[in-house]
Structure 1
Amino acid sequence: MNDHQFLDAYFDRIGYSGPRIPSIDLLHNITLAHVRCIPFENLDILLGKSINISLDSVFEKLIIQKRGGYCFEQNGLLLHVLQKLGFDVIPISARVRLDKPRDFTPPRTHVFLRVEHSGKTWFTDVGVGGVSLTSPIQFIQNTEQTTNHETRRIVYEGNRYFHQVLFPNGWADVCEFTLEEMPEIDRELANWYTSDHPKSHFKDRLIVARAGEDGKRFTLVNREYSERNKNVIASKTIINSPKELINVLKEKFNLSFPTNTEFRTPGLQWDL
Protein backbone atom coordinates (compact mmCIF):
# COMPACT_ATOMS: atom_id res chain seq x y z
CA MET A 1 0.00 0.00 0.00
CA ASN A 2 1.43 3.37 -0.98
CA ASP A 3 1.20 6.54 1.10
CA HIS A 4 -1.74 7.89 -0.90
CA GLN A 5 -3.79 4.71 -0.34
CA PHE A 6 -2.83 4.69 3.35
CA LEU A 7 -4.00 8.26 3.83
CA ASP A 8 -7.17 7.68 1.80
CA ALA A 9 -8.11 4.77 4.08
CA TYR A 10 -7.32 6.75 7.24
CA PHE A 11 -9.28 9.82 6.17
CA ASP A 12 -12.22 7.66 5.15
CA ARG A 13 -12.13 6.08 8.63
CA ILE A 14 -12.29 9.47 10.40
CA GLY A 15 -14.63 11.09 7.89
CA TYR A 16 -12.26 13.83 6.76
CA SER A 17 -12.27 15.11 3.17
CA GLY A 18 -10.53 18.48 3.38
CA PRO A 19 -7.09 19.76 2.31
CA ARG A 20 -4.00 17.68 3.11
CA ILE A 21 -1.33 20.38 3.10
CA PRO A 22 0.38 20.52 6.53
CA SER A 23 -1.09 23.33 8.63
CA ILE A 24 -2.34 23.89 12.15
CA ASP A 25 -5.90 23.83 10.81
CA LEU A 26 -5.25 20.36 9.40
CA LEU A 27 -3.78 19.22 12.71
CA HIS A 28 -6.87 20.56 14.51
CA ASN A 29 -9.25 18.84 12.09
CA ILE A 30 -7.46 15.49 12.23
CA THR A 31 -7.22 15.49 16.03
CA LEU A 32 -10.94 16.15 16.48
CA ALA A 33 -12.08 13.74 13.79
CA HIS A 34 -9.82 10.97 15.07
CA VAL A 35 -11.11 10.98 18.66
CA ARG A 36 -14.70 11.21 17.49
CA CYS A 37 -14.45 8.21 15.16
CA ILE A 38 -11.79 5.87 16.61
CA PRO A 39 -12.61 4.98 20.21
CA PHE A 40 -10.07 4.48 22.95
CA GLU A 41 -10.42 0.90 24.24
CA ASN A 42 -8.55 -1.98 25.88
CA LEU A 43 -10.92 -4.80 24.91
CA ASP A 44 -8.39 -7.11 23.23
CA ILE A 45 -6.43 -7.30 26.49
CA LEU A 46 -9.60 -8.55 28.23
CA LEU A 47 -10.06 -11.12 25.46
CA GLY A 48 -6.59 -12.53 26.14
CA LYS A 49 -5.07 -11.16 22.93
CA SER A 50 -1.64 -9.60 22.57
CA ILE A 51 -1.39 -5.98 21.43
CA ASN A 52 0.84 -5.68 18.36
CA ILE A 53 1.82 -2.04 17.73
CA SER A 54 3.49 -2.53 14.36
CA LEU A 55 2.01 -0.20 11.75
CA ASP A 56 0.54 -3.07 9.72
CA SER A 57 -1.22 -4.51 12.76
CA VAL A 58 -2.51 -1.15 13.98
CA PHE A 59 -3.76 -0.26 10.50
CA GLU A 60 -5.56 -3.60 10.21
CA LYS A 61 -7.22 -3.24 13.62
CA LEU A 62 -8.13 0.46 13.74
CA ILE A 63 -8.79 1.11 10.05
CA ILE A 64 -9.85 -2.17 8.40
CA GLN A 65 -11.58 -3.82 11.36
CA LYS A 66 -12.89 -0.44 12.58
CA ARG A 67 -11.80 -1.10 16.15
CA GLY A 68 -10.16 1.22 18.65
CA GLY A 69 -7.10 0.92 20.83
CA TYR A 70 -4.97 2.63 23.45
CA CYS A 71 -2.12 5.15 23.25
CA PHE A 72 0.54 3.06 21.51
CA GLU A 73 -1.99 2.13 18.82
CA GLN A 74 -3.81 5.46 18.57
CA ASN A 75 -0.85 7.83 18.68
CA GLY A 76 1.29 5.31 16.81
CA LEU A 77 -1.17 5.45 13.91
CA LEU A 78 -1.41 9.24 14.06
CA LEU A 79 2.39 9.51 14.13
CA HIS A 80 2.62 7.75 10.76
CA VAL A 81 -0.29 9.75 9.33
CA LEU A 82 1.33 13.06 10.24
CA GLN A 83 4.72 11.92 8.92
CA LYS A 84 3.19 10.87 5.59
CA LEU A 85 1.47 14.26 5.36
CA GLY A 86 4.82 16.01 5.79
CA PHE A 87 4.57 17.21 9.40
CA ASP A 88 7.67 17.42 11.59
CA VAL A 89 6.56 15.11 14.40
CA ILE A 90 8.19 12.98 17.09
CA PRO A 91 6.74 10.69 19.82
CA ILE A 92 7.23 11.87 23.42
CA SER A 93 7.22 9.59 26.48
CA ALA A 94 5.03 10.38 29.47
CA ARG A 95 3.50 9.07 32.69
CA VAL A 96 -0.31 9.17 32.93
CA ARG A 97 -1.34 10.93 36.16
CA LEU A 98 -5.14 10.95 36.07
CA ASP A 99 -6.43 10.34 39.60
CA LYS A 100 -2.86 9.85 40.87
CA PRO A 101 -1.35 11.90 43.74
CA ARG A 102 1.93 13.70 43.07
CA ASP A 103 3.83 11.49 45.54
CA PHE A 104 3.00 8.41 43.46
CA THR A 105 5.20 7.55 40.47
CA PRO A 106 3.28 5.77 37.69
CA PRO A 107 5.18 3.83 35.01
CA ARG A 108 6.31 5.68 31.89
CA THR A 109 3.81 3.89 29.67
CA HIS A 110 2.29 6.70 27.65
CA VAL A 111 3.21 8.30 24.35
CA PHE A 112 1.92 11.51 22.77
CA LEU A 113 3.07 13.58 19.80
CA ARG A 114 5.13 16.74 19.48
CA VAL A 115 4.60 18.65 16.24
CA GLU A 116 6.78 21.53 15.01
CA HIS A 117 5.08 23.93 12.62
CA SER A 118 5.81 27.52 11.60
CA GLY A 119 8.33 27.98 14.40
CA LYS A 120 5.97 26.80 17.15
CA THR A 121 5.67 23.56 19.10
CA TRP A 122 2.32 21.81 19.40
CA PHE A 123 1.19 18.69 21.23
CA THR A 124 -1.55 16.31 20.22
CA ASP A 125 -2.69 13.20 22.08
CA VAL A 126 -5.53 11.02 20.79
CA GLY A 127 -4.75 8.16 23.17
CA VAL A 128 -5.48 9.13 26.76
CA GLY A 129 -9.02 7.84 27.15
CA GLY A 130 -11.78 10.15 28.33
CA VAL A 131 -9.49 13.19 28.26
CA SER A 132 -7.85 12.66 24.85
CA LEU A 133 -7.18 15.99 23.19
CA THR A 134 -9.75 17.13 20.65
CA SER A 135 -7.55 20.07 19.63
CA PRO A 136 -3.76 20.31 19.63
CA ILE A 137 -2.33 22.55 22.34
CA GLN A 138 0.69 24.79 22.05
CA PHE A 139 3.79 24.23 24.15
CA ILE A 140 3.52 27.36 26.28
CA GLN A 141 3.55 27.39 30.07
CA ASN A 142 0.96 28.61 32.57
CA THR A 143 -1.48 29.68 29.87
CA GLU A 144 -5.05 28.43 29.62
CA GLN A 145 -5.83 26.99 26.20
CA THR A 146 -9.33 26.27 24.97
CA THR A 147 -9.99 23.13 22.95
CA ASN A 148 -13.08 21.66 21.33
CA HIS A 149 -13.77 20.15 24.74
CA GLU A 150 -12.03 21.03 28.03
CA THR A 151 -9.64 23.87 28.84
CA ARG A 152 -5.99 22.77 29.14
CA ARG A 153 -2.66 24.15 30.31
CA ILE A 154 0.98 23.09 30.72
CA VAL A 155 2.87 23.82 33.94
CA TYR A 156 6.47 23.15 34.95
CA GLU A 157 7.10 21.94 38.48
CA GLY A 158 9.94 19.92 40.02
CA ASN A 159 11.85 19.56 36.74
CA ARG A 160 8.78 18.07 35.06
CA TYR A 161 6.08 19.36 32.75
CA PHE A 162 2.47 18.57 33.54
CA HIS A 163 -0.34 18.58 31.00
CA GLN A 164 -3.47 19.53 32.96
CA VAL A 165 -7.20 19.61 32.29
CA LEU A 166 -9.68 21.95 33.96
CA PHE A 167 -12.57 20.19 35.69
CA PRO A 168 -15.31 21.93 37.75
CA ASN A 169 -13.39 21.20 40.95
CA GLY A 170 -10.10 22.56 39.59
CA TRP A 171 -7.05 21.56 37.58
CA ALA A 172 -6.15 17.87 37.30
CA ASP A 173 -2.97 16.30 35.97
CA VAL A 174 -3.37 14.33 32.75
CA CYS A 175 0.27 13.31 32.34
CA GLU A 176 3.81 14.36 33.18
CA PHE A 177 6.73 14.48 30.75
CA THR A 178 10.26 15.79 30.25
CA LEU A 179 10.21 16.17 26.45
CA GLU A 180 12.24 12.96 26.10
CA GLU A 181 11.57 11.22 22.81
CA MET A 182 10.08 7.72 22.98
CA PRO A 183 11.72 5.62 20.24
CA GLU A 184 10.14 2.48 18.86
CA ILE A 185 11.99 0.08 21.17
CA ASP A 186 10.77 2.00 24.25
CA ARG A 187 7.22 1.96 22.94
CA GLU A 188 7.44 -1.79 22.39
CA LEU A 189 8.69 -2.36 25.94
CA ALA A 190 6.05 -0.08 27.50
CA ASN A 191 3.34 -1.70 25.37
CA TRP A 192 4.38 -5.11 26.65
CA TYR A 193 4.03 -3.90 30.25
CA THR A 194 0.72 -2.18 29.58
CA SER A 195 -0.87 -5.15 27.84
CA ASP A 196 0.69 -8.13 29.65
CA HIS A 197 1.98 -7.21 33.11
CA PRO A 198 -0.42 -8.47 35.81
CA LYS A 199 -0.29 -5.10 37.60
CA SER A 200 -1.24 -3.10 34.53
CA HIS A 201 -4.46 -1.19 35.20
CA PHE A 202 -5.70 -2.26 31.76
CA LYS A 203 -5.93 -5.82 33.12
CA ASP A 204 -8.40 -5.12 35.90
CA ARG A 205 -10.96 -2.90 34.19
CA LEU A 206 -12.80 -2.36 30.93
CA ILE A 207 -12.29 1.11 29.45
CA VAL A 208 -13.86 2.58 26.31
CA ALA A 209 -14.13 6.27 25.45
CA ARG A 210 -14.69 8.61 22.56
CA ALA A 211 -15.44 12.28 22.01
CA GLY A 212 -18.70 13.54 20.56
CA GLU A 213 -20.05 16.76 19.12
CA ASP A 214 -20.58 19.98 21.07
CA GLY A 215 -18.03 19.08 23.73
CA LYS A 216 -19.62 15.77 24.71
CA ARG A 217 -17.69 12.76 26.00
CA PHE A 218 -18.85 9.14 26.10
CA THR A 219 -17.09 6.80 28.53
CA LEU A 220 -17.55 3.21 29.63
CA VAL A 221 -15.66 1.92 32.68
CA ASN A 222 -16.60 -1.63 33.57
CA ARG A 223 -20.40 -1.57 33.98
CA GLU A 224 -20.78 2.22 34.25
CA TYR A 225 -21.59 4.14 31.07
CA SER A 226 -21.46 7.94 31.30
CA GLU A 227 -22.05 10.92 29.05
CA ARG A 228 -20.76 14.36 29.98
CA ASN A 229 -21.04 17.71 28.30
CA LYS A 230 -18.49 20.48 27.94
CA ASN A 231 -19.17 21.60 31.51
CA VAL A 232 -18.43 18.06 32.75
CA ILE A 233 -21.97 17.38 33.93
CA ALA A 234 -22.32 13.63 33.61
CA SER A 235 -25.28 11.29 33.31
CA LYS A 236 -24.48 7.74 34.36
CA THR A 237 -26.08 4.38 33.61
CA ILE A 238 -25.29 1.00 35.14
CA ILE A 239 -25.14 -1.90 32.67
CA ASN A 240 -26.85 -4.97 34.06
CA SER A 241 -25.95 -7.83 31.73
CA PRO A 242 -23.32 -8.99 29.22
CA LYS A 243 -25.88 -8.61 26.42
CA GLU A 244 -26.54 -5.01 27.42
CA LEU A 245 -22.79 -4.37 27.42
CA ILE A 246 -22.48 -5.66 23.85
CA ASN A 247 -25.35 -3.38 22.82
CA VAL A 248 -23.74 -0.30 24.43
CA LEU A 249 -20.44 -1.03 22.68
CA LYS A 250 -22.24 -1.11 19.34
CA GLU A 251 -24.70 1.74 19.82
CA LYS A 252 -22.40 4.24 21.57
CA PHE A 253 -18.94 3.33 20.25
CA ASN A 254 -19.64 1.49 16.97
CA LEU A 255 -17.71 -1.57 18.23
CA SER A 256 -19.22 -4.89 17.14
CA PHE A 257 -18.76 -8.15 19.06
CA PRO A 258 -20.68 -11.44 19.07
CA THR A 259 -23.35 -11.59 21.75
CA ASN A 260 -21.51 -14.39 23.59
CA THR A 261 -18.25 -12.40 23.92
CA GLU A 262 -16.82 -12.59 27.44
CA PHE A 263 -14.49 -9.82 28.61
CA ARG A 264 -12.41 -11.29 31.43
CA THR A 265 -11.60 -8.73 34.12
CA PRO A 266 -12.27 -8.36 37.86
CA GLY A 267 -13.99 -5.07 37.09
CA LEU A 268 -17.00 -6.82 35.56
CA GLN A 269 -19.22 -8.52 38.11
CA TRP A 270 -22.61 -9.69 36.85
CA ASP A 271 -25.52 -10.50 39.16
CA LEU A 272 -27.15 -13.11 36.95
Structure 2
Amino acid sequence: MNQTLSPAQLAAYFDRIGCIGYSAPDRGPHQATSDTLHALHRLHPQAIPFENLDALLGRTPRLDLESVFAKLVTARRGGYCYEHNLLFRAVLNTLGFETTGLAARVMWSDPAAMPPRTHMMLLVETPDETWLTDVGFGSMTLSAPLLFDTGREQTTPHETFRIDLIERGDFLLQVKLGDAWKPIYRFDLEPQFPADYAMANHYVSTFPESIFLNHLIVARVMPGERRTLFDATLTRRGKASGFEAKRELTTAAELRGVLQDVFGLALADNETSPPAGGLDTVLERIIRSSVSTPS
Protein backbone atom coordinates (compact mmCIF):
# COMPACT_ATOMS: atom_id res chain seq x y z
CA MET A 1 0.00 0.00 0.00
CA ASN A 2 1.41 3.38 -1.02
CA GLN A 3 1.79 5.81 1.86
CA THR A 4 0.29 9.29 1.84
CA LEU A 5 0.52 12.45 3.95
CA SER A 6 -2.20 14.03 6.05
CA PRO A 7 -3.50 17.46 4.96
CA ALA A 8 -1.45 19.10 7.72
CA GLN A 9 1.70 17.23 6.68
CA LEU A 10 1.18 18.15 3.03
CA ALA A 11 0.82 21.82 3.96
CA ALA A 12 3.99 21.64 6.07
CA TYR A 13 5.90 20.01 3.20
CA PHE A 14 4.78 22.72 0.76
CA ASP A 15 5.92 25.33 3.25
CA ARG A 16 9.28 23.54 3.68
CA ILE A 17 10.04 23.64 -0.05
CA GLY A 18 8.60 27.12 -0.60
CA CYS A 19 5.90 25.96 -2.97
CA ILE A 20 3.79 29.13 -3.19
CA GLY A 21 0.16 28.45 -3.97
CA TYR A 22 0.35 24.97 -2.48
CA SER A 23 0.87 26.04 1.12
CA ALA A 24 -2.48 24.72 2.39
CA PRO A 25 -4.64 21.77 1.38
CA ASP A 26 -7.45 24.06 0.24
CA ARG A 27 -5.27 26.45 -1.78
CA GLY A 28 -3.76 25.99 -5.22
CA PRO A 29 -4.03 23.26 -7.84
CA HIS A 30 -3.29 19.69 -6.76
CA GLN A 31 -3.68 17.89 -10.09
CA ALA A 32 -1.37 14.97 -10.80
CA THR A 33 0.04 16.58 -13.95
CA SER A 34 3.51 16.95 -15.42
CA ASP A 35 3.47 20.66 -14.53
CA THR A 36 2.90 19.83 -10.86
CA LEU A 37 5.59 17.14 -10.97
CA HIS A 38 8.10 19.53 -12.53
CA ALA A 39 7.35 22.26 -9.97
CA LEU A 40 7.81 19.94 -6.99
CA HIS A 41 10.89 18.25 -8.45
CA ARG A 42 12.57 21.63 -8.96
CA LEU A 43 11.83 22.95 -5.48
CA HIS A 44 12.45 19.87 -3.32
CA PRO A 45 16.26 19.58 -3.77
CA GLN A 46 16.67 23.35 -3.51
CA ALA A 47 15.13 23.35 -0.03
CA ILE A 48 16.05 19.95 1.42
CA PRO A 49 19.75 19.05 1.14
CA PHE A 50 21.29 15.65 0.61
CA GLU A 51 23.35 14.72 3.69
CA ASN A 52 24.65 11.68 5.56
CA LEU A 53 25.20 13.02 9.08
CA ASP A 54 23.20 10.24 10.72
CA ALA A 55 25.43 7.52 9.28
CA LEU A 56 28.55 9.41 10.41
CA LEU A 57 27.01 9.63 13.89
CA GLY A 58 26.61 5.86 14.02
CA ARG A 59 22.88 5.79 13.27
CA THR A 60 20.94 3.90 10.65
CA PRO A 61 18.28 6.35 9.42
CA ARG A 62 14.71 5.23 10.08
CA LEU A 63 12.67 4.83 6.91
CA ASP A 64 9.13 4.85 8.25
CA LEU A 65 7.25 7.85 6.85
CA GLU A 66 6.70 9.53 10.23
CA SER A 67 10.43 9.47 11.00
CA VAL A 68 11.41 10.69 7.54
CA PHE A 69 8.86 13.50 7.70
CA ALA A 70 9.95 14.51 11.20
CA LYS A 71 13.59 14.72 10.14
CA LEU A 72 13.40 16.34 6.68
CA VAL A 73 10.38 18.60 7.20
CA THR A 74 9.83 19.28 10.91
CA ALA A 75 13.47 19.25 12.05
CA ARG A 76 14.66 20.91 8.80
CA ARG A 77 17.45 18.40 8.25
CA GLY A 78 18.36 16.61 5.04
CA GLY A 79 18.91 12.97 4.25
CA TYR A 80 20.08 10.52 1.63
CA CYS A 81 18.28 8.81 -1.24
CA TYR A 82 15.82 6.64 0.69
CA GLU A 83 14.67 9.49 2.89
CA HIS A 84 14.33 12.01 0.06
CA ASN A 85 12.57 9.72 -2.37
CA LEU A 86 10.30 8.09 0.23
CA LEU A 87 9.11 11.54 1.29
CA PHE A 88 8.74 12.69 -2.32
CA ARG A 89 6.82 9.52 -3.17
CA ALA A 90 4.40 10.09 -0.29
CA VAL A 91 3.78 13.65 -1.53
CA LEU A 92 3.13 12.42 -5.07
CA ASN A 93 0.86 9.62 -3.83
CA THR A 94 -1.13 12.15 -1.82
CA LEU A 95 -1.63 14.28 -4.94
CA GLY A 96 -2.89 11.30 -6.95
CA PHE A 97 0.19 10.29 -8.94
CA GLU A 98 0.92 6.61 -9.60
CA THR A 99 4.41 5.81 -8.34
CA THR A 100 6.74 2.81 -8.34
CA GLY A 101 9.87 2.53 -6.24
CA LEU A 102 12.96 1.35 -8.12
CA ALA A 103 16.56 0.52 -7.18
CA ALA A 104 19.82 1.17 -9.00
CA ARG A 105 23.48 0.19 -9.02
CA VAL A 106 25.53 3.38 -8.66
CA MET A 107 28.18 3.70 -11.39
CA TRP A 108 29.15 7.32 -10.65
CA SER A 109 32.47 6.64 -8.89
CA ASP A 110 33.51 3.52 -10.82
CA PRO A 111 31.80 2.91 -14.20
CA ALA A 112 33.47 -0.51 -14.50
CA ALA A 113 32.10 -1.83 -11.20
CA MET A 114 28.92 -3.82 -10.67
CA PRO A 115 27.91 -2.76 -7.14
CA PRO A 116 24.76 -3.86 -5.30
CA ARG A 117 21.45 -2.05 -5.82
CA THR A 118 21.71 0.58 -3.09
CA HIS A 119 20.12 3.66 -4.67
CA MET A 120 16.41 4.50 -4.66
CA MET A 121 14.51 6.46 -7.28
CA LEU A 122 10.94 6.53 -8.64
CA LEU A 123 8.93 5.83 -11.75
CA VAL A 124 5.98 8.24 -11.90
CA GLU A 125 2.91 8.13 -14.12
CA THR A 126 1.01 11.20 -15.33
CA PRO A 127 -2.07 10.91 -17.58
CA ASP A 128 -0.06 10.69 -20.80
CA GLU A 129 3.56 10.09 -19.79
CA THR A 130 5.96 8.08 -17.65
CA TRP A 131 8.79 9.85 -15.79
CA LEU A 132 11.97 8.95 -13.96
CA THR A 133 12.24 11.09 -10.82
CA ASP A 134 15.05 11.30 -8.29
CA VAL A 135 15.42 14.03 -5.67
CA GLY A 136 18.20 12.26 -3.71
CA PHE A 137 21.40 11.61 -5.67
CA GLY A 138 23.84 13.94 -3.96
CA SER A 139 26.02 15.98 -6.31
CA MET A 140 24.04 14.96 -9.40
CA THR A 141 20.48 15.06 -8.08
CA LEU A 142 18.03 15.68 -10.90
CA SER A 143 16.49 19.16 -10.92
CA ALA A 144 13.65 17.98 -13.18
CA PRO A 145 11.95 14.66 -13.92
CA LEU A 146 13.05 12.82 -17.06
CA LEU A 147 10.66 11.37 -19.60
CA PHE A 148 11.14 7.63 -19.67
CA ASP A 149 12.20 7.73 -23.32
CA THR A 150 15.41 5.85 -24.10
CA GLY A 151 18.13 7.45 -26.17
CA ARG A 152 16.66 10.93 -25.91
CA GLU A 153 18.82 13.82 -24.68
CA GLN A 154 16.85 15.76 -22.07
CA THR A 155 17.75 19.20 -20.79
CA THR A 156 17.06 20.09 -17.16
CA PRO A 157 17.62 23.41 -15.37
CA HIS A 158 21.17 22.18 -14.76
CA GLU A 159 22.62 19.39 -16.94
CA THR A 160 21.54 17.29 -19.92
CA PHE A 161 20.68 13.65 -19.19
CA ARG A 162 19.92 10.51 -21.19
CA ILE A 163 18.37 7.13 -20.36
CA ASP A 164 19.84 4.34 -22.49
CA LEU A 165 18.58 0.77 -22.84
CA ILE A 166 21.49 -1.61 -22.34
CA GLU A 167 21.73 -5.38 -21.92
CA ARG A 168 19.10 -7.72 -20.48
CA GLY A 169 16.45 -5.09 -20.01
CA ASP A 170 18.65 -2.85 -17.89
CA PHE A 171 18.76 0.91 -18.30
CA LEU A 172 21.63 3.36 -17.78
CA LEU A 173 21.17 6.95 -16.66
CA GLN A 174 23.93 9.22 -17.96
CA VAL A 175 24.76 12.91 -17.66
CA LYS A 176 26.56 15.06 -20.23
CA LEU A 177 29.53 16.85 -18.71
CA GLY A 178 31.26 18.99 -21.29
CA ASP A 179 31.34 16.86 -24.44
CA ALA A 180 31.38 13.51 -22.66
CA TRP A 181 28.63 11.30 -21.24
CA LYS A 182 29.22 9.94 -17.72
CA PRO A 183 27.22 7.03 -16.26
CA ILE A 184 25.30 7.71 -13.05
CA TYR A 185 23.45 4.48 -12.32
CA ARG A 186 22.18 1.26 -13.85
CA PHE A 187 18.68 -0.06 -13.09
CA ASP A 188 15.75 -2.19 -14.22
CA LEU A 189 12.01 -1.77 -13.73
CA GLU A 190 11.45 -4.37 -11.00
CA PRO A 191 9.31 -2.73 -8.27
CA GLN A 192 10.97 -2.46 -4.86
CA PHE A 193 9.26 -2.88 -1.52
CA PRO A 194 9.96 -1.51 1.99
CA ALA A 195 11.96 -4.62 2.91
CA ASP A 196 14.26 -4.05 -0.09
CA TYR A 197 15.02 -0.50 0.99
CA ALA A 198 15.40 -1.53 4.63
CA MET A 199 18.08 -4.05 3.66
CA ALA A 200 19.93 -1.59 1.42
CA ASN A 201 19.66 1.14 4.05
CA HIS A 202 21.17 -1.13 6.68
CA TYR A 203 24.02 -2.02 4.32
CA VAL A 204 25.03 1.52 3.34
CA SER A 205 24.78 2.81 6.93
CA THR A 206 26.72 -0.02 8.63
CA PHE A 207 29.10 -1.64 6.09
CA PRO A 208 32.59 -0.51 7.14
CA GLU A 209 33.60 0.38 3.58
CA SER A 210 30.44 2.35 2.82
CA ILE A 211 31.18 5.85 1.55
CA PHE A 212 28.55 7.17 3.95
CA LEU A 213 30.51 5.94 6.97
CA ASN A 214 33.83 7.28 5.76
CA HIS A 215 33.05 10.67 4.24
CA LEU A 216 30.83 13.68 4.83
CA ILE A 217 28.68 14.23 1.75
CA VAL A 218 26.29 17.16 1.50
CA ALA A 219 24.68 18.62 -1.64
CA ARG A 220 22.11 21.20 -2.57
CA VAL A 221 20.73 22.13 -5.98
CA MET A 222 20.39 25.90 -6.31
CA PRO A 223 19.02 27.97 -9.21
CA GLY A 224 21.84 28.02 -11.76
CA GLU A 225 24.38 26.15 -9.66
CA ARG A 226 25.17 23.14 -7.51
CA ARG A 227 26.74 23.27 -4.06
CA THR A 228 28.52 20.20 -2.71
CA LEU A 229 30.56 19.40 0.36
CA PHE A 230 32.84 16.40 0.37
CA ASP A 231 34.54 16.14 3.75
CA ALA A 232 36.10 19.61 4.16
CA THR A 233 35.99 20.70 0.51
CA LEU A 234 33.15 23.02 -0.46
CA THR A 235 32.49 23.24 -4.21
CA ARG A 236 30.20 25.51 -6.19
CA ARG A 237 29.53 24.71 -9.85
CA GLY A 238 27.61 27.04 -12.12
CA LYS A 239 25.57 25.87 -15.09
CA ALA A 240 25.47 28.83 -17.44
CA SER A 241 29.03 30.13 -16.97
CA GLY A 242 30.63 26.76 -16.31
CA PHE A 243 32.54 28.16 -13.32
CA GLU A 244 33.82 25.98 -10.50
CA ALA A 245 35.00 27.35 -7.17
CA LYS A 246 36.50 25.28 -4.37
CA ARG A 247 37.13 26.24 -0.76
CA GLU A 248 38.98 24.16 1.81
CA LEU A 249 37.55 24.39 5.33
CA THR A 250 40.10 24.26 8.12
CA THR A 251 38.16 24.11 11.40
CA ALA A 252 35.17 22.21 12.76
CA ALA A 253 33.47 25.52 13.57
CA GLU A 254 33.86 26.62 9.96
CA LEU A 255 32.50 23.28 8.79
CA ARG A 256 29.48 23.55 11.08
CA GLY A 257 28.86 27.08 9.80
CA VAL A 258 28.82 25.90 6.20
CA LEU A 259 26.37 23.11 7.03
CA GLN A 260 24.04 25.66 8.60
CA ASP A 261 24.51 28.73 6.40
CA VAL A 262 25.32 27.31 2.96
CA PHE A 263 23.20 24.16 3.11
CA GLY A 264 20.49 25.36 5.49
CA LEU A 265 20.71 22.45 7.93
CA ALA A 266 19.29 22.88 11.42
CA LEU A 267 21.87 21.31 13.73
CA ALA A 268 21.69 20.49 17.43
CA ASP A 269 24.43 21.95 19.61
CA ASN A 270 26.34 18.71 20.06
CA GLU A 271 24.17 15.63 19.73
CA THR A 272 25.76 12.52 21.12
CA SER A 273 25.30 9.17 19.49
CA PRO A 274 27.61 6.27 20.34
CA PRO A 275 29.86 4.94 19.01
CA ALA A 276 30.73 7.91 16.80
CA GLY A 277 30.44 10.56 19.52
CA GLY A 278 28.75 13.92 19.10
CA LEU A 279 28.49 15.99 15.95
CA ASP A 280 31.39 18.23 16.97
CA THR A 281 33.55 15.13 17.44
CA VAL A 282 32.63 13.92 13.95
CA LEU A 283 33.37 17.32 12.40
CA GLU A 284 36.74 17.49 14.17
CA ARG A 285 37.59 14.04 12.82
CA ILE A 286 36.70 15.12 9.28
CA ILE A 287 38.92 18.19 9.54
CA ARG A 288 41.86 16.17 10.90
CA SER A 289 41.48 13.59 8.14
CA SER A 290 41.30 16.26 5.45
CA VAL A 291 44.42 17.99 6.74
CA SER A 292 46.38 14.73 6.89
CA THR A 293 45.16 13.61 3.45
CA PRO A 294 45.00 16.72 1.25
CA SER A 295 42.90 16.53 -1.92
Of 191, 194, 197, the residue aligned with 2:204 is: 194
Whether the aligned pair in 2 keeps the contact of 1:206 and 1:265 (CA below 8 Å) is no
Normalised TM-score (structure 1): 0.94
Of 114, 127, 139, the residue aligned with 2:123 is: 114
How far apart are the structure 2 equivalents of 1:49 and 1:81? 25
Of 282, 286, 294, the residue aligned with 1:263 is: 282
How far apart are the structure 1 equivalents of 2:283 and 2:259? 16
> 1:9 is matched by which residue type in structure 2?
A
Gaps (5+ residues) in structure 2? 22-28, 271-278
How far apart are the structure 1 equivalents of 2:291 and 2:49? 28
Cα deviations by residue, 1:33-80 (Å, 9 ceiling, x for unpaired):
000000000011111222101101001100110000000100010111
- Residues 169 and 245 from structure 1, CA distance in 2 versus in 1: closer, same or farther, beyond 3 angstroms? farther
> 2:95 is matched by which residue type in structure 1?
L
How far apart are the structure 2 equivalents of 1:264 and 1:54? 28
Cα deviations by residue, 1:92-127 (Å, 9 ceiling, x for unpaired):
11111112123x111100110101112321011001
Deviation of the 1:174 alpha carbon? 1.1
How far apart are the structure 1 equivalents of 2:5 and 2:50? 27
Of 233, 238, 242, the residue aligned with 1:224 is: 233
Corresponding residue for 1:10? 13
Deviation of the 1:249 alpha carbon? 0.7
Percent of aligned positions that are identical: 39
Whether the aligned pair in 1 keeps the contact of 2:71 and 2:77 (CA below 8 Å) is yes
Corresponding residue for 1:161? 171
Corresponding residue for 2:93? 83
Q: Which moved more, 1:152-161 or 1:242-251?
A: 152-161
- Partner SS for 2:213: coil
Whether the aligned pair in 2 keeps the contact of 1:205 and 1:265 (CA below 8 Å) is no
Whether the aligned pair in 2 keeps the contact of 1:246 and 1:256 (CA below 8 Å) is no
Q: Which moved more, 1:165-174 or 1:27-36?
A: 165-174
Cα deviations by residue, 1:180-222 (Å, 9 ceiling, x for unpaired):
1111110111000011111211111000001001x20000000
For 1:199-214, list aligned pairs within 5 A. Answer: 199-213=209-223
CA RMSD of aligned residues (A): 1.9
Where has structure 1 moved over 2 Å in runs of 4 or more? 256-260, 264-268
Cα deviations by residue, 1:130-169 (Å, 9 ceiling, x for unpaired):
1111100001111100111110111112222001111115
Deviation of the 1:267 alpha carbon? 5.4
For 1:60-71, list aligned pairs within 5 A. Answer: 60-71=70-81
- Residues 266 and 199 from structure 1, CA distance in 2 versus in 1: closer, same or farther, beyond 3 angstroms? farther
- Partner SS for 2:79: coil
> 1:229 is matched by which residue type in structure 2?
G
Deviation of the 1:266 alpha carbon? 7.1
Deviation of the 1:265 alpha carbon? 9.3
> 2:282 is matched by which residue type in structure 1?
F
How far apart are the structure 1 equivalents of 2:165 and 2:291? 47
> 1:118 is matched by which residue type in structure 2?
P
- Partner SS for 1:237: strand
- Partner SS for 2:191: coil
- Residues 266 and 140 from structure 1, CA distance in 2 versus in 1: closer, same or farther, beyond 3 angstroms? farther
- Residues 141 and 237 from structure 1, CA distance in 2 versus in 1: closer, same or farther, beyond 3 angstroms? same
Q: How many correspondences in the alignment?
A: 270
How far apart are the structure 2 equivalents of 1:133 and 1:2? 23
How far apart are the structure 2 equivalents of 1:101 and 1:133? 19
